[in-house]
Amino acid sequence: MDSAETTKHLSRELDAYAHWFVAPDPAVGGHFLALTLLAECGDTARVAREVTAVFLRAAGAGDLVDDAQLVVSELVANVVNHTVPDRHLARPGSCRRIDVTFKKYPKWVFMGVSDEDSTPPLLPVGDTFPAALVGELSEAVLPDSGRGLLIAQRLATSVWWSPEEQGGKTVWCRFDLDQPGACSV
Ligand SMILES: Nc1ncnc2c1ncn2[C@@H]1O[C@H](COP(=O)(O)OP(=O)(O)O)[C@@H](O)[C@H]1O
Ligand SMILES: [Mg+2]
């Protein structure tokens, strides 16, 4: 599907389901987008991936789509799997909210995934096994969880989190864009 078709497909879905909401900001030339999702809806990660692709292509950062989709999947899945909203943000019987924010600048793309839980994510500070060794180890000794944020750290230039004023937090990633004419050293 090309970008125009995907956009059409997404707006049809938006009409069909009331569980997510996109707010582009025309003031910054379409280079800012906020997407609200609900953790309890089964297709949350898929919607996040599709909107990520539409945003990046429209913003002229199509080269980032594959990496950013994988990262957004991991961050959204973490909200679904690990968060318990702060008591004052929890609404009995209702879904947990996930806000995904995209900001494109000439040199960077920022992507933030916000949730209602003030517990920080456990960002890895080291690597259990060096990549070169993984192929030689049997599946049994490799950890089967705790890889999502490691993947995000590998694919993005930088990953961090910040607390939100009213409670909850945002996990942020920055992707540096290749500069035309820039020479690598
Ligand atoms: N949004 C989040 N809120 C609270 N805790 C989180 C969040 N994201 C990650 N975590 C914590 O960080 C850990 C590592 O996350 P991750 O690397 O994605 O591994 P996994 O999801 O497989 O456990 C999680 O097990 C969880 O304890
Ligand atoms: Mg995870």
Q: Is 72 within 8 Å of 100 (Cβ atoms)?
A: yes
* pLDDT tops 90 at residue 17: no
- Which residue minimizes the CA distance to atom 23 of ligand 1? 146
Torsion, Cα 39 44 48 50, to 10 degrees, reads: -170
The ligand with the least distance to the CA atom of 150 is 1
Cβ proximity of 89 and 116 under 8 Å: yes
42-85 confidence digits (pLDDT tens): 889 999 999 999 999 988 899 999 999 999 999 999 999 999 99
Full set of structural domains in the chain with CATH = 3-176 (3.30.565.10)
Using most ligand atoms within 8 A of CB, pick from 76, 78, 89, 125 the residue to mutate for ligand 1: 78
Protein residue with least CA distance to atom 25, ligand 1: 146
Is the CB of residue 119 below 6 angstroms from any atom belonging to ligand 1? yes
Ligand nearest to the CA of 86: 1
Q: Is the CB of 85 under 6 A from ligand 1?
A: no
User: How does the average pLDDT of the chain come out, rounded?
Assistant: 82
Cα of 33 to ligand 1 centre, how many Å? 25
- Check pocket membership of 148 for ligand 1, CB cut-off 6 A: yes
Residue of higher predicted confidence among 32 and 178: 32
19-27 long-range CB contacts below 8 Å, 24 or more apart?
19/95, 20/44, 20/47, 22/51
